[in-house]
């Protein structure tokens, strides 16, 4: 079976939204929309999307302020606006009966999108979303990790330079991040990080009416047992799946474990 991979964009919610599309040629596949994390342009998820393409017509979106989507000081980067980007993107491409999968920040944007009118979703997969928020414990990562690496990437960065930020990644993964990190607009990153602490993720959960898969990294401390229990009490149809040998960047740390969790959850 032959595959396709190409980049394109949609004008939705008043901006250019760039995406990469992966799938099989000459066959009909269900759609999966993937929303990456805070400093992950779409192309950095390509190695995951290539595998997802065995099962889905896979779209990986550059969130505003990242990759080849619209960016700059004239735009807003709050969670509501970024969630509306997802709602309008799905409308623009006429998605129906599709899976939406988000990692970290992307998972938070998905929950907000579902609360703000995202329709046609068959399943939502939330991959290690930050559960920090007002009057809650802080997100384990610190802001300088993001802004310092972005600053260095704007000056020029190599895979070797990236080693101090991502010591467990392969050289190829570090090289790709070094090449694309400069496309992450620092004020957008700061806003998203601050919203991890200032914006209430949990308020949107009771309104989710589609089946939800929560994928939890066994390492990294983003989601703890008490968080799982609270989320389970707020979402009516939830299954929880652990990838015990992975930190927050689950498919980078345990690629097979990531897909095993999707299999266990009957997503693939």
Q: Do 181 and 39 contact (CB within 8 A), yes or no? A: yes
Residue 154, pLDDT score: 96
Q: Of all residues in the chain, what percent carry a pLDDT higher than 70? A: 100
Give 78-122 pLDDT, tens digit per residue. Answer: 999 999 999 999 999 999 999 999 999 999 999 999 999 999 999
Q: Other C-beta atoms within 10 Å of 23: how many?
A: 23
Q: How confident is the model at residue 26 (pLDDT cuts 50, 70, 90)?
A: confident
Rounded CA separation 151/35 (Å): 24
d(CA 68, CA 185): 11
Half-sphere exposure of 52 (CA within 13 A, CB side): 27
């Amino acid at each position: 079976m032959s595959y396709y991979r190409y980049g394109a964009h949609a004008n939705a919610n008043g901006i250019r939204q760039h995406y990469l599309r992966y799938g099989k040629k000459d066959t009909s596949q269900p759609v999966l929309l993937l929303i990456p994390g805070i400093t992950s342009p779409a192309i950095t998820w390509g190695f995951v999307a290539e595998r997802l393409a065995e099962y889905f017509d896979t779209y990986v979106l550059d969130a505003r302020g990242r990759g080849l989507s619209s960016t700059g000081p004239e735009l807003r980067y709050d969670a509501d606006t970024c969630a509306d980007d997802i709602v309008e993107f799905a409308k623009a491409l006429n998605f129906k009966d599709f899976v939406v999968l988000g990692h970290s920040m992307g998972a938070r944007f998905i929950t907000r999108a579902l609360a703000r009118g995202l329709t046609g979703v068959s399943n939502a997969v939330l991959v290690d979303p930050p559960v920090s928020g007002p009057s809650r414990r802080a997100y384990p990562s610190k802001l300088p990790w993001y802004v310092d690496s972005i600053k260095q990437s704007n000056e020029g960065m190599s895979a070797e330079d990236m080693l101090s930020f991502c010591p467990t990644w392969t050289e190829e993964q570090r090289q790709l991040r070094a090449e694309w990190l400069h496309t992450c607009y620092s004020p957008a990153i700061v806003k998203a990080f601050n919203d991890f602490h200032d914006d209430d993720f949990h308020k949107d959960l009771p309104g989710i009416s589609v089946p939800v898969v929560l994928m939890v990294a066994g390492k990294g401390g983003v989601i703890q047992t008490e968080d799982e229990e609270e989320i389970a009490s707020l979402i009516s149809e939830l299954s929880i799946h652990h990838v015990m040998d992975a930190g927050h960047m689950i498919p980078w740390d345990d690629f097979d474990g990531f897909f095993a969790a999707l299999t266990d959850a009957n997503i693939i």
